[in-house]
């Protein structure tokens, strides 16, 4: 089997599995307890905070543990909205993950206005339109770091600069789930106030992540109880998940050269396909500055994406037709349509996403099967 759906989830590192087993069999203590074994667990959790903070240009005490990207985005958006005393407008891009889009729509019920930034044909936010939408009453701007569908790196630093020129107090939120430790992020230098991440996208476990919150941000808690995480996210710590997240962060950091090499694998796969008539890339071309190293969106003219996906699965190659959260809903991608793709082109799209367990020879095997399946399936294209 060749697994090429790493944007849906990643296979955990062996080190992550080992830490998970140890934390559940030996270091199982409640980190909020006062005896030494529990304090040792709490110390390891602090090390995880520090490691995440170093990766994103923040302070250790600005890292809050969550259950993953969705909770982090919810806490960021609703947490800010519920602290505002006056009605304001919230701005996001039209290609945001549902964890952002569905949540930011909820702030309308609180009386705030929602404005949506359009994107260009390359899948990148239109900065000129962004400057028109943001004004002195904009309280919150959200833009994902990397598109989960096309791999387009979004200009979050430029968006933050535009927003602060209109309102110095604006809060800038970034969904970093597809970008963390694959695309650089320095919250201080880039003007980012809130940054959400998830462990299972970087070869860690599911059900754990973090929201990094700069000190100037006020949030209203969405989960109340025992007061953990500065009273912002109550509940017994998922210490096994947090320690495993730390293991994933450490190994990703130690393998930065391999992370960078994902871009070469992605480029090689496209080089094998680019000469085939009817195959196109959606979003920035591999190798472009705005192209993340690990995600490639491909359209096959006249062949539905789910048909290509199923055919490739039969050949032992696993890809997706879009984001995993919507894969069973068979909805047309709003991101692809926003980029100007026709209905047929959007229908004929698959997403290839790479991880650190992939190898270059797998790109050749995948390309061979894609070319073969496209030639076969094209004979039965819709008329």
Q: Are residues 264 and 332 in the same domain?
A: yes
For 101-139, how does the pLDDT look when each residue is reduced to its tens digit (9 = 90+)?
999 999 999 999 999 999 999 999 999 999 999 999 999
CA distances from 73 to 191, 255, 360, 362, 369 (A): 17, 28, 34, 34, 38
Taking the complete model, does pTM exceed 0.85, yes or no?
Answer: yes
Do 165 and 183 reside in the same domain of the chain? yes
On whether both 244 and 263 belong to a single domain, the answer is no
Domain that holds residue 203: 14-253
Task: Count structural domains, the chain.
Answer: 2
Last residue of a domain, one of 228, 253, 278: 253
Indicate if 315 and 261 belong to the same structural domain.
yes
Claim to verify: residue 162 and residue 44 sit in the same structural domain: yes
Residue of higher predicted confidence among 284 and 337: 284
Q: Are 290 and 62 in contact (CB under 8 A)?
A: no
| End-to-end Cα spacing for the chain | 33
314 and 234 in one domain?
no
User: Of 169, 186, 194, whose CA–CA distance to 63 is shortest?
Assistant: 194
Check residue 81 and give its pLDDT: 97
106 with 137, same domain?
A: yes
| Average pLDDT for 1-8 | 98
DSSP assignment string, 53-71: HHHHT--GGGEEEESSHHH
| Domain stop point among 235, 253, 271 | 253
- Give residue-wise pLDDT tens across range 224-252: 999 999 999 999 999 999 999 999 999 99
323: CATH: 3.90.1150.10
pLDDT tens digit sequence for 303-357 = 999 999 999 999 999 999 965 454 455 566 788 988 989 888 899 999 999 999 9
pLDDT class of 382 with cuts at 50, 70, 90: low
d(CA 137, CA 167): 7
Contact status, residue 219 vs residue 233, Cβ threshold 8 Å: no
Q: What is the pLDDT of residue 220?
A: 95
- Amino acid 55: pLDDT: 98
Question: Residue 234: inside a domain, yes or no?
Answer: yes
Output the pLDDT for position 143.
97
pLDDT tens across 147-172, in order? 999 999 999 999 999 999 999 999 99
Confidence category of residue 379, pLDDT binned at 50, 70, 90: confident
pLDDT at 25 over 90: yes
Length of the chain: 383
What integer is the mean pLDDT of 204-226?
Answer: 96
The reply to whether 78 and 110 lie within a common domain is yes
Flag whether 361 is in a domain: yes
| 383 confidence band (pLDDT: 50, 70, 90) | low
Q: What token pair was written down for 329?
A: 């809903």
Q: Residue 320: which of 108, 7, 98 has the closest Cα?
A: 7
> Is 383 inside any structural domain?
no
Q: What single-letter DSSP state applies at residue 251?
A: H
pLDDT for 335 = 84
Q: 241 lies in a domain?
A: yes
The residue from 193, 219, 253 where one domain ends is 253
- Tens of pLDDT, residue by residue over 59-88, are 999 999 999 999 999 999 999 999 999 999
Q: What is the CATH number of the domain that holds 72?
A: 3.40.640.10
Return phi, psi of residue 86, to 5°: -120, 155
Same domain, 169 and 134: yes
Structure token pair of residue 99: 């964890």
Active site residues: 325
114-124: pLDDT as tens digits: 999 999 999 99
């Amino acid at each position: 089997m060749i697994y090429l759906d790493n944007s849906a989830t990643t296979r955990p590192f062996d080190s992550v599995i080992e830490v998970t087993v140890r934390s559940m069999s030996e270091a199982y203590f409640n980190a909020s307890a006062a005896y030494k074994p529990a304090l040792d667990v709490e110390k390891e959790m602090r090390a995880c905070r520090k490691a995440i903070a170093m990766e994103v240009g923040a302070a250790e005490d600005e890292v809050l543990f969550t259950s993953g990207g969705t909770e982090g985005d919810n806490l960021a958006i609703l947490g800010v909205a519920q602290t505002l005393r006056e009605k304001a407008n919230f701005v996001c891009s039209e290609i945001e993950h549902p964890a952002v889009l569905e949540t930011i729509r909820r702030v309308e019920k609180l009386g705030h206005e929602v404005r949506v930034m359009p994107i260009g044909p390359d899948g990148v936010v239109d900065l000129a339109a962004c400057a028109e939408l943001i004004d002195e009453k904009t309280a919150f701007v959200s833009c994902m770091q990397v598109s989960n569908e096309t791999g387009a790196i979004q200009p979050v630093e430029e968006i933050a600069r535009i927003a602060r020129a209109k309102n110095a107090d604006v809060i800038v939120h970034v969904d970093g789930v597809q970008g963390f430790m694959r695309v650089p992020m320095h919250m201080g230098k880039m003007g980012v106030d809130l940054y959400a991440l998830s462990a299972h996208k970087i070869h860690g476990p599911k059900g754990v992540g973090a929201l990094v919150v700069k000190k100037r941000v006020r949030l209203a808690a969405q989960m109340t109880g025992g007061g953990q995480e500065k009273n912002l996210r109550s509940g017994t710590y998922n210490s096994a998940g947090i320690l495993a997240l730390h293991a994933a962060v450490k190994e990703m950091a130690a393998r930065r050269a391999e992370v960078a090499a994902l871009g070469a694998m992605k480029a090689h796969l496209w080089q094998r396909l680019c000469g085939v008539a009817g195959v196109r890339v959606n979003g920035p071309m591999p190798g472009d500055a705005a192209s993340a190293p690990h995600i490639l969106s491909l359209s096959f003219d006249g062949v539905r994406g789910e048909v290509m996906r199923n055919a490739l699965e039969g050949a032992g190659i696993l890809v997706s037709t879009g984001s995993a959260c919507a894969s069973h809903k068979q909805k047309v991608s709003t991101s692809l349509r926003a980029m100007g793709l026709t209905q047929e082109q959007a229908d004929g799209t698959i997403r290839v996403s790479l991880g650190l367990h992939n190898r270059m020879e797998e790109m050749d095997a995948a390309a061979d099967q894609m070319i073969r399946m496209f030639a076969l399936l094209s004979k039965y294209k819709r008329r």
